[in-house]
Structures are given as C-alpha cells and as structure tokens.
Amino acid sequence: MKPAAFDYHAPSDTEEATGLLAELGDEAKAIAGGQSLVPMLALRLASFAHLVDLRRVSELRGIEHRGGTLRIGATTTQATLQRSEEVRAAVPLLARATPLIGHFQIRSRGTIGGSLAHADAAAEYPAVALTLDAELEASSVRGRRTIPAAGFFTGTWTTALADDELLTGVAFPVWRRPRGFAVEEFAHRSGDFALAGATVAVGLDSESRVDRCAIGLFGLGPAPCRARTAETELIGSAPDEDRADDIGNLAMAGLEAVPSDLHGSAGYRKCVGAAMVARAWRRAVREALHD
C-alpha cells in the first residue's frame, strides 16, 4: 500500500516548525527519521494532510553537558548515540539500550525524539527515560515547557505533547558513582520489539547500601512503567544478587493491562518480565559494587 496524499513541509528552524504545527493543527505531523511513522502511513494505520520534516532543523541535533545532566537534541540519531563516548560515560543505560533498537539501518535514521514521541510501549528509549527521571523539552508558538518523563507517556502511542508542540530535546540526569545499570529484554528475533523488558539503575551509598533504585518495565502494558513497590523495598538494603528472583516477582505485582496476544499471554509476559528484572538486577548490582 501507499500513504494517503499529504503536503510536505521542510522548515529550516524550530520557530518555523512550531509555526507550521500551530497553523495546520491536528492535520499536521512532525517527522524526523520516519522509522515508525512511515510504515504506519504506508499501511494506512495513520493519515495526515501535512508532514513537517525536521531534518533541516540543525538546532535539534547534538549532545552537550548542562550542569548535572546530559542534554540530547530530539533529532539526534540513534546511531550517533551508539557511537558517542560521551553518552557511554554519562548515561550508560541509554548507551546499552541503543543497540537493542531494531537493526543498524533503522538506527542510522531513527532519532531519540522520534522514539520518545512515538511512545511505543515496547520500545527501549521511553523506558530508559522513565527509569532515569529524564526531562523532555517541548516547544510551541506559546513558549517552551519541560515535561518529566513520569508524566510524558500517557497510553498506547500517546504522550502529554499537545498537537502544536514539538519535542526539541531530552535531559538525562548524570548519576553519581558508585552506580550500576542494566537493560534486559526478550524478543522472538533480534531486532523485534520486546515481549517484555526491564531497565534497572542502582546507586550505592558510602556503606555500599542501595540509596537510589529505579526499575523500568516495557512491553508489559499500554505504556512503560516503574516498579515502584520493588524500588521502595530495595532502598536501604544490601545489594544482594541472591534476591534477584524475588525482586523480579515483586516488580510484576500489581501490573494491570498486561497485553495478551498471539505472541504470548499476559501470564507468560509477566513470567518473562520477572526474569528480565532479575537478570538486569544482577548485572546492575554487580557493576555498582565494582564501580
């Protein structure tokens, strides 16, 4: 199939792009790498009268330290992040999640902002942003605002962005050391979306006890989520790898709306999810203890 007809716009800066979104309303859609949007358009799962191409807006690309955060422009490609030593050092979890996204051809054009704005519940970047308490930057003709990741992902393919808003960047806090990070996911084939996945971040205090903990879950509901009960349970405890299976099971407690489809039942996905949390916990703890 082919996409429905649309008008193409190629703004040269953010001001022009947000002006187009304001003028054209909900008939317009911003497109960056197009790795998620173009297949949906081709299959007629989505249709827009106007596409606003962001490739010429150079101010939306780049990586820079800002105080205690690493700020990444929305149209920075996933391949750029995968190659970046700066990302690897400052936000290891983001660097480790990137190679799990699709295939290298997809990462060469796919962007971090596109993935976050698309908000697929089984995607890695939304879970990483949520786990690390990232802040997402949005711009419109009405001004700029910052949206915490915890309030950004609102449901299946939906976010807190208004129709006239453009995601311009994301800021990731740089965790102090000692710290440990891990991401684990299960998919039937390499490059497929995960049936279930987990992102774990652990920080230790001077006595090698957990003083900071975040467990993100993806592929297990309409949006990525945090295993808050398990996180609370772990604060102040010794980073014990032997508790990994119990932590995985606790992370699954209270999960609602776990999908059940031809790829796996809800019960199966929760079993896989618990195993992914356990694996990620072991790896993150091991790293933190040797950091």
State mean pLDDT over 218-235.
97
- Position 232 scores a pLDDT of 97
User: Residue 13: pLDDT above 80?
Assistant: yes
Residue 1 lies in a domain: no
User: Residue 285: pLDDT above 90?
Assistant: yes
pLDDT category of residue 11 using cuts at 50, 70 and 90: very high
pLDDT digit string (tens) for 147-168?
A: 999 999 999 999 999 999 999 9
Q: Which residue, among 122, 117, 126, has the nearest Cα to 74 in the 3D structure?
A: 117
- Position 193 scores a pLDDT of 85
User: Does the pTM of the predicted model rise above 0.75?
Assistant: yes
Residues 273, 199 within the same domain: yes
Residues 163, 185 within the same domain: no
The gap between the terminal CA atoms of the chain, to the nearest Å, is 52
Residue 94 lies in a domain: yes
In this predicted structure, which of 94-108, 142-156, 184-198, 204-218 has the lowest mean pLDDT? 184-198
Residues of the domain holding 240? 179-289
pLDDT digit string (tens) for 33-62?
A: 998 888 888 888 888 999 999 999 999 999
Angle at 231 between CA 229 and CA 233, to 5 degrees: 70
Residue 2 lies in a domain: no
* CA pseudo-torsion sign 13, 78, 161, 135: negative
Residues 157, 143 within the same domain: yes
Give percent of the chain above pLDDT 90.
89
pLDDT category of residue 130 using cuts at 50, 70 and 90: very high
- Position 192 scores a pLDDT of 83
Q: Which of 173, 204, 219 is the last residue of a domain?
A: 173
Q: Is 139 exposed, middle or buried (0-12, 13-18, 19+ CB in 10 A)?
A: buried
Residues 183, 282 within the same domain: yes
Instruction: Give the mean pLDDT of the chain.
Output: 95
